[in-house]
């Protein structure tokens, strides 16, 4: 089976970049979508873990 993508509308590179989201935005939106208490605390924890992971040196 050969896939045919000719009927799809492709986005220009500029449009794709405009719709891109950084990791912290994606994490925050995910936390906000959860049905949990203390979303603010969870969001802070996730942000801190993400920032710590960025600063950890590779061994």
Q: Give the model confidence (pLDDT) of 25-56 as tens digits.
A: 989 999 999 999 999 999 999 999 999 988 88
pTM: 0.60
Inside any domain, residue 9? no
pLDDT at residue 48 in the model: 95
Residue 46 structural domain? 21-55
Residue 37 lies in a domain: yes
Let me know if residue 38 belongs to a domain.
yes
In a domain, 49, yes or no: yes
> What's the token pair of residue 1?
């089976």
Do the domain assignments include residue 10? Answer: no
* Structural domain contains residue 11: no
pLDDT band at 1 (very low <50, low <70, confident <90, very high): low
Kindly give the residue spans of alpha helices, DSSP state H, lying in the chain.
13-19, 23-33, 39-55
Number of domains in the chain: 1
């Amino acid at each position: 089976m050969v896939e045919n993508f000719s009927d799809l509308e492709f986005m220009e590179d500029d449009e794709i970049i405009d719709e891109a989201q950084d990791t912290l935005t994606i994490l925050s939106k995910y936390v906000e979508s959860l049905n949990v208490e203390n979303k603010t605390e969870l969001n802070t924890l996730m942000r801190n873990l993400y920032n710590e992971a960025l600063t950890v040196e590779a061994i």
